[in-house]
Amino acid sequence: MRIRSTVTRAVIPVVALGLALSGCAGSDDGGGTGTAAVGTTNDINPHDVADLRDGGNLRLSVSGFPVNWNTLMVDGNEAPVASMARAMLPQAFRIDAAGNTTVNTDYFTSVELTKTDPQQVTYTINPKAVWSDGTPITWEDIASEAAAMSGRDKAFLIAGTVGFDRVEKVERGVDDRQAVITFSKHFAEWKAQFAGNGMLYPKSVTGTPEAFNKSLVDGLPVTAGPFQIQSIDRTQGRIVLGRNPKWWGATPKLDTITFSVQDVAADIPALQNNELDAAGVSNRDQLKTVEGIAGVAIRRTPATQWSHLTFNGAPGSILSDPKLRVAIMKAIDRQGIATAIHNGLVANPHPLNNHIYLEGQTGFQDNSLPYDPDAAARELDALGWKLNGDVREKDGRKLEIRDVMYQQDVWVQMAQIMQQNLARVGVKLNIETKPGTGFFRDWIQPGNFDVGQWTWVGDAFPLNGMPQIWGYDPNDLQGNYGRIGSPELNALIEQTISELDPKKAIELANQVDRKIWEEGHSLPLLQSPGIVAVKDTIANYGARGLATLDWTKVGFLK
């Protein structure tokens, strides 16, 4: 489901439902047979590279030009940017469909937790690894990124700290190709710092606030992956990635990857017209359409992305009272939304009932508040919001709220269901749709909404996004666009991400989730079933689930 999405360095925002080209366990069977739980498999048409032909152009789409190509920076913290950047930048670990990690030996010969008291992690860099300008990747690149992301210098407009605020120092190891990170406090998900939604940038980008915030506005000139940016054509709406001549790893099978910048509504028609090689599927009509396209396979694996509703609880906002937010949450029929949107796409449509864990991930449990419109009405009465005609009022102010979202049919359909739910209890919801380009920069980040709809895109490190989204510092919002939180929640988050025992961390994370529900921070709606239509000649690409893609192995069958 392609929704406007965002990434936290643990999670990313996206505007469009289904954007990340993910899918539900299974293959080419009919609609309505998948689940909405991440699992241990994915659906990427796996083939040995010997089965692939050399060359070719993979044609994909993206909903807007990046505002910034620095995914570490708040303006670049969007799923479309990250999906392109993963083909071009170092990551420390490869992740399989079950969420297990192995060292990405293209970039590192080893990454080890070498001490626990104090916690210390040693990164040994592949001696062949170089940036596309020919300079070697060294410990200084790691040290520079750690310093920029620490949050200590507020001039760096970071999307989230990803535990770098807990780094005491980064030192040179046995040589320039080794970095030793020492933590001042334990960090449970240290593997996430340069993996999942985290990437390593050159020190030329992370060395100063000016470079960090502005140097990648127009492109990504220095990379270190199998691909690099070949061209950006704003007139034609094209971003083309080509092979990186400095790449030292296995030669990619593809020559180029072309991203067409277009509205998501154009994707399925473009697939029909042989203008795209893959397209996300977000509703039953689209599924029926793509099932009728010759040479197209329906690939399914539950995606690490979920739609939700964020409340604006900033001081002075109409929803600043947590009791009001909770009452409104109880009036929204999330099961009704799941049935309306996912019926025919998955076998048992139901809402996502946890903020931290996706269904199917170890640690998931249902901590949600019940749908209870009668209780919601009573609570609104008790808060002094009294019915005056069809809409409640208090102190002369109508209970009328603005729902801001990306212009997409599925988003609007969800909002219309919520609009009807809330009208039943005397709350008026006004639907406002916005374009994809600049959606977060212009609307969400400034808090220009009462409730906002977008998709979070996570990864195999679910705890990593907690400080970014639900931790609250009024002077450093990171991804907490609703400006909601409490000292109690901050302390619980701190305790959770400091816990190195995985079982204890899961228990604490679910305490965090229950507290998020109690504060009325945000309302999870649907986990993406991840359905993507892909040309059946394409291998090692499609519905990836928790796994990372190996871009050297993506290609066309002989």
Residues 303-334: pLDDT tens digits?
A: 888 999 999 999 999 999 999 999 999 999 99
Question: pLDDT confidence of 21, banded at 50, 70, 90?
Answer: very low
Spatial distance between the Cα atoms of 221 and 132, rounded to a whole number of angstroms:
8
Does the pLDDT at position 26 exceed 50? Answer: no
pTM of the model: 0.79
Mean pLDDT, rounded, for 469-480 = 88
Q: What are phi and psi of 497, to 5 degrees?
A: -75, -5
Spatial distance between the Cα atoms of 135 and 154, rounded to a whole number of angstroms:
29
pLDDT in tens, 231-271: 999 999 999 999 999 999 999 999 999 999 998 889 999 99
Spatial distance between the Cα atoms of 96 and 329, rounded to a whole number of angstroms:
35
pLDDT of residue 394: 97
Whether 327 and 379 have beta carbons less than 8 Å apart is answered as: yes
- Residue 159's nearest CA partner among 71, 221, 238 is 71
Peptide bond into 118 cis (omega under 30): yes
Q: Does residue 154 sit in helix, strand or coil?
A: coil
Q: What are phi and psi of 424, to 5 degrees?
A: -60, -30
Element holding 103 (H helix, E strand): strand 101-103
Whether 261 and 62 have beta carbons less than 8 Å apart is answered as: yes
Whether 58 and 256 have beta carbons less than 8 Å apart is answered as: yes
User: In percent, how much of the chain has pLDDT > 70?
Assistant: 93
Whether 125 and 109 have beta carbons less than 8 Å apart is answered as: yes
Spatial distance between the Cα atoms of 492 and 227, rounded to a whole number of angstroms:
41
pLDDT higher for 128 or 8? 128
Spatial distance between the Cα atoms of 277 and 58, rounded to a whole number of angstroms:
6
For the chain, the residue count is: 558
Whether 320 and 482 have beta carbons less than 8 Å apart is answered as: no
Q: Does residue 133 sit in helix, strand or coil?
A: coil
Both ends of the chain: CA-CA distance in Å? 31
